[in-house]
Amino acid sequence: MPEGKIIKALSGFYYVLQNDEIIQCRGRGVFRKNKITPLVGDEVVFQAENVQEGYILEVKERKNELVRPPIANVDQAILVFSAVEPDFSPILLDRFLVLIEFNHIQPLICITKLDLATPEQHLKIEQYVESYRRAGYVVILTSSETEVGIEQLFPQLENKISVFAGQSGVGKSSLLNALKPELDLKTNDISSHLGRGKHTTRHVELIHVGHGLVADTPGFSSLEFTNIDAEDLTFCFPELQKESEYCKFRGCLHLKEPKCGVKAAVESGEIPAFRYEHYLDFLQEIKDRKPRY
């Protein structure tokens, strides 16, 4: 049986990419009965008489799935943050990073609007960039206006499913336009290339950018730590996870426990103070969360 990847879901139809051909498929009735909803990004087994009449027979096991946007098997999240307008926000970036690490998605940090930053702002951004790179993150500095850094993004997209995420106004659409000018996306409207009217249903579609696939709707509209427990949080900060091996007690939350490897690394400057402070803020937020029943 042939296999392919769902690249669009719309009005009960699933558009499956196999090699360079797109086959329009429906899901089997048994999916509804078993409460299985095929998602964009799913690897599926299907059968088809022609490109208009196919049926999805099986949804392969997913490595991850997001609720917003509804998409599966995401390889990486490109976190788009502006240097200015709006000002760079390390605490918001860390919130995104925690959610992405928790979902086992590879993050890539992309800082935009470098052309608008003053020399002082540039210097501050560079200091943050050094901290994130030291923690193991890939950081690319870009400007959609001058096209600085755009070429560095193409190899990162290759053979991957990527979602773009970040706060409003940071230049996600401008960045996608710089990567693929024929998209001609309007600012604040990542899905305008599909030509939908105002009242049509929004849907997720994977579009070819370079040699990869990019979700055409922004990721992570909810930034709550709903499913993350206090014990999980260390694993969402790579540099804390590394230093936690030197903690005396297993399950150390790096608060007041004696002989804590993380606190020692913060004191020595190995872990940046701002990252540890954000960890403490998020830990408190998780502890204050109302219990779920």
Q: Which domains can be identified in the chain, with CATH numbers?
A: 3-61 (2.40.50.140), 66-215 (3.40.50.300), 230-288 (1.10.40.50)
Q: Which pLDDT belongs to residue 265?
A: 98
Looking at residues 87-91, what average pLDDT do you find?
Answer: 95
Are residues 248 and 220 in contact, defined by beta-carbon separation less than 8 angstroms?
Answer: no
Alpha-carbon span 57 to 26, nearest angstrom? 9
Q: Which residue has the higher pLDDT, 224 or 93?
A: 93
> What pLDDT shows up at residue 221?
65
> For residue 119, is it left (φ>0), alpha (ψ between -120 and 50) or beta?
alpha
Reported as a pLDDT band with limits 50, 70 and 90, residue 46 is very high
As a whole-number percent, the residues of the chain with pLDDT over 90 amount to 70
Mean pLDDT for all residues in the chain: 89
pLDDT score, position 197: 35
- Residue 21: how many CB atoms within 10 A of its CB? 11
- pLDDT given at position 156: 96
Q: Exposed, middle or buried by CB within 10 Å (0-12, 13-18, 19+), for 34?
A: exposed
What pTM does this model have? 0.88
What is the model's pLDDT at position 194?
Answer: 39
What sign results for the dihedral spanned by CA atoms 212, 184, 67, 76? positive
pLDDT of residue 199: 33
What pLDDT score does 188 carry?
53
**Model confidence over 186-244: pLDDT tens digits?**
655 444 443 333 333 367 889 999 999 998 777 776 688 988 999 999 999 999 999 99
| β-sheet bridge partners, residue 124 | none
Contact by Cβ (8 Å): 170, 144: no
